[in-house]
Structure 1
Amino acid sequence: MEVILERDTGTEILSTQGWLASVDPAFRTELLSNAAWRHFATGAQITLAGDEDGDLIGLAKGFISFHVSFGQPASPILHVAPPVFWMGYRPIVSEQARIATAVARSPVWCAAIPRRRVLAMLDAHPEWWRHFVALALSYGDTAALAGADLLIAETESRLIAVLLRFAGARSEASDAGGMVSIPVTQQDLAGAANLSRNWTGTILRRLAKRGLVETKYNGITLVDQGALQAILEKVGA
């Protein structure tokens, strides 16, 4: 049975983790006071590439996958984001359309702030624009990391890098802990790591024999993030 994430709990998560944890408290309070609490079922579309308006969305629970609007029509997943993750800043800072389609990979709970309310806040407090610069930089770091992962020549390490990124364990601020389950199929993972499905399965079985991952019908569980990170660091040394 799915556990409902209450608004107060979700607000606390978004306030103390990720982007909003380090901003002006007055900005954080006003932004979240304008938020509506939303739930998306697995498979639901959250944002659509090409939209010129929409909400600023803060992911508090669940996983979201992203497909970019450029490239091949059937492009694989570029990134899977765990909580806490923010999206929808592009139409606010540039008035350009969204470039990514976001889909719920699991039941998702998030805060949604309409673009018009965000812009009204920034009109009243122009000094708060700097917080969106920080958000854009962090989003750019994620995009750069996704590109860098694909440049890793050694296939096992490339797959590990993608898995750790999907788990939120590839940033400098991350604290790779215990087990985390990522709701992706082996086909999803193969596309994201630019590998064949067969070779992806071979690597996962090899990692599973070492007790580092578990493969299940509904996703892949990282059993020991620290050991996976150590493998990745050894290759990069």
Structure 2
Amino acid sequence: MEQSCRKCSDVLRGLASVGWLAEQPDAFQTRMARAGRWSTVPRGGLLYAVGDVPNAIFGLGEGLLEVSIPITGEEEVTIYRARPGFWIGDSALLAETTRSITVSAAVESRIFRVPIGAVRRNLAEHAEDWICFFRLNHANATLAVRILAEVLALTPRARFARMLLRLADPDGSVRATQEDLCRMAGMSRAAFRRAFKGLIDAGSVRTEYGVLWIVDRAALQLASEEA
């Protein structure tokens, strides 16, 4: 069993140590490792789009994913940028309905794809696996509610500050263009410009081409708590 777990970790790489799957039983991790395959998705590449018929669930091993929802017609707004350890795609697959969100690669990303047939086969043979998927569904639902709560309760500047704190690498960098940040913030361009300018004027952040740097994390944290 120990050898099997080691092989499972070798296959899953970072997904065996961070995120939802890392918190599940070893036997479940082993079944997922055997069922899935790694692939590389280029920047801008789609994992799936609104209206697609589900064919797999996906784990992010390296890179960044953007989660977008439709608002009017064909217009979509990015509501979340996910880091390694993030899993998505289970909800529509298990509910046997079409996709209600779009997921794409913000940068070139390594994705672990578990096809629908393998998921259903494992559930048929191992009913105890259902609780693992309920945990994933609960985690993503909680994330969605938190994002909605921030939109309803916080000022645009506070929302933007929180987003930057979530996106920042350990060195304080946020590698995204202003266009990317505006899209992810889900604000009008005017509201985004005001929030962005306010943080720059306060000395909380500074910008370079294609990257934003957090200069004063304490000040940014304070701005994130404005109501």
Q: Per the shorter chain, which TM-score range?
A: 0.7 to 0.9
Give the count of matched residue pairs.
220
The answer for the alignment partner of 1:179 in structure 2 is: 172
How far apart in 2 are the matches of 1:20 and 1:180?
27
- The structure with more helix, counted as a fraction of residues: 2
Corresponding residue number in structure 2 for 1:86 = 87
Equivalent residue for 1:49? 50
**From 186, 197, 215, the counterpart of 2:189:** 197
- Per-residue Cα deviation, 1:168-189 (whole angstroms, up to 9, x for no partner): x8xxxxxx95424243x32343
Letter paired with 2:64: F
Distance 1:142 1:32 in 2: 25
Specify the SS of the correspondent of 2:113. Answer: strand
Q: Distance in 1 between matches of 2:111 and 2:22?
A: 16
Structure 1 residues 158 and 72, CA gap change in structure 2 (3 angstroms) = farther
Check 1:221–1:135 CA distance in 2 against 1; reply closer, same or farther (3 A cut).
farther
The C-alpha deviation readout for 1:48-99, integer Å capped at 9, x for no partner, is: 2212231111001111112224644212212221222111102332111111
Cα drift, residue 220 of structure 1: 3.5
1:225–1:85 distance in 2 versus 1, CA, 3 Å:
farther
Aligned ranges for residues 1-237 of structure 1 at < 5 Å? 11-69=12-70, 71-165=72-166, 167=167, 177-183=170-176, 185-208=177-200, 210-222=202-214, 227-233=219-225, 235=226
Assess if the C-alpha contact under 8 Å between 1:178 and 1:225 holds in 2. no
| TM-score, normalising length: structure 1 | 0.80
Is 2:81–2:184's contact at 8 Å kept on the other side of the alignment? no
In 2 relative to 1, CA 181–71 (structure 1 residues): closer, same or farther, beyond 3 Å?
same
Query: In the alignment, is the contact (CA less than 8 A) between 1:187 and 1:197 conserved in 2?
Result: no
Larger Rg: 2
Residues 5-24 of structure 1: CA distance to partner in whole angstroms, max 9, x if unpaired? xx977723101101012111
Matched residue type, 1:46: L
**Cα drift, residue 210 of structure 1:** 4.8
| Two-structure CA RMSD over aligned residues (Å) | 2.7
Taking the aligned partners of 1:106 and 1:9, their CA distance within structure 2 comes to 24
Question: TM-score, normalised to structure 2's length?
Answer: 0.83
Distance 1:212 1:73 in 2: 35
Q: What is the rounded CA distance, in whole Å, between the counterparts of 1:218 and 1:9 in structure 2?
A: 34
Moved more, 219-228 or 154-163: 219-228
The percent identity for this pair of structures is 26
